[in-house]
Amino acid sequence: MTNKLKYTGWLAIAVFTVSCSTAQKSSETVLENQMDSLSYAIGVSMGESINQQPLIEVNVEAVKSGLEKQIAGGNEWELADVDAFLRKTMTEMAQAEQLKAKADGEKFLEENGKKDGVITTASGLQYQVVQEGEGASPDFNDIVTVHYSGTLTDGTPFDSSVEKGVPMTRPANQLIAGWTEGLQLMKPGSKFKFFIPSELGYGERPPGAVIPPHAVLVFDVELISFETVD
């Protein structure tokens, strides 16, 4: 994406912000007219864009200096060099973060697998029987109806049919690999806790922003029923 496109994105958000509110005052900046509000909104949008990046710390004074110099036309860096530097640095940081997440996940599973009641399968899936059900278990192609709640290993929630108040019904083979395997170990009425390694979950490409790449997923799952598919 070019700088022009990036700026256009900030401007669109800024215009939207101004159109939805009147001039406002902050503790440091007095916004007296529409252009003041537009300028402030662009800054807020830029700040939010920075917040969405995997940066641990940002030198705000350096950001301010680069912004002022570029607006004044006195920036020492070529824009092509800036784009190349940003892409390279952000890629390196993202890769480092992914390696750390993968190592943290492996450590979690190693320690978790030593706990009483936790069973590790040949694939690496870990599960714990909370409540045993009765009857037969679903097969790979069967349609299952379940209630579930999913969290990261630190307890951060990301999805829950329980909170939605509606159980999920879906073919077992259309779920992530850890679920497909784990459900075949359950019987109707069972309640299991799944600890799903990244390679049996979403790997490097998780959906949404809450689940990071290479995340170990923890699910509380209740198998309500299943429909056999021949």
**Could you confirm whether 108 is annotated as catalytic?**
no
Whether residue 173 sits in one domain with residue 64: no
Whether residue 74 sits in one domain with residue 143: no
* Tokens 């190349």, located at residue: 84
Q: Which residue of the set 192, 194, 219, 226 is catalytic? A: 219
Query: Which residue, 55, 89, 123, sits at the end of a domain?
Result: 89
On whether the CB atoms of residues 163 and 109 are closer than 8 A, the answer is no
Measuring CA to CA, which residue among 87, 90, 50 is closest to residue 67? 50
On whether the CB atoms of residues 81 and 66 are closer than 8 A, the answer is no
Mean of pLDDT values over 48-52: 80
Q: Which residue of the set 13, 176, 220, 224 is catalytic? A: 176
Query: Which residue, 89, 115, 147, sits at the end of a domain?
Result: 89
On whether the CB atoms of residues 194 and 217 are closer than 8 A, the answer is yes
On whether the CB atoms of residues 54 and 93 are closer than 8 A, the answer is yes
Measuring CA to CA, which residue among 196, 188, 194 is closest to residue 167? 188
The letter for the amino acid at 52 is Q
**Could you confirm whether 104 is annotated as catalytic?**
no
Q: Which residue of the set 127, 192, 195, 202 is catalytic? A: 202
On whether the CB atoms of residues 201 and 151 are closer than 8 A, the answer is no
Q: Which residue of the set 148, 192, 195, 226 is catalytic? A: 148
Q: Is residue 99 assigned to a domain?
A: no
Whether residue 186 sits in one domain with residue 120: yes
**Could you confirm whether 159 is annotated as catalytic?**
yes
| Confidence bin at 14 (pLDDT 50/70/90) | very low
Q: Is residue 95 assigned to a domain?
A: no
**Cα four-point dihedral sign 222, 127, 163, 53:** negative
Whether residue 120 sits in one domain with residue 28: no
Q: Which residue of the set 159, 192, 211, 226 is catalytic? A: 159
* CA 94 – CA 201 distance, rounded (Å): 19
Residue 60: exposure state from Cβ atoms within 10 A (0-12, 13-18, ≥19): exposed
**Could you confirm whether 219 is annotated as catalytic?**
yes
pLDDT tens digits along 64-88:
888 888 888 878 888 898 889 888 9
* CA 22 – CA 194 distance, rounded (Å): 50
| Confidence bin at 56 (pLDDT 50/70/90) | low
* Tokens 């390679």, located at residue: 199
Q: Which residue of the set 36, 83, 139, 158 is catalytic? A: 158
pTM for the predicted model, two decimal places: 0.69
Measuring CA to CA, which residue among 182, 178, 181, 212 is closest to residue 197? 178
* CA 44 – CA 13 distance, rounded (Å): 9
- What is the residue range of 221's domain? 105-227
* CA 230 – CA 228 distance, rounded (Å): 6
Domains in the chain: how many in total?
Answer: 2
143 vs 30, residue with greater confidence: 143
Q: Is residue 152 assigned to a domain?
A: yes
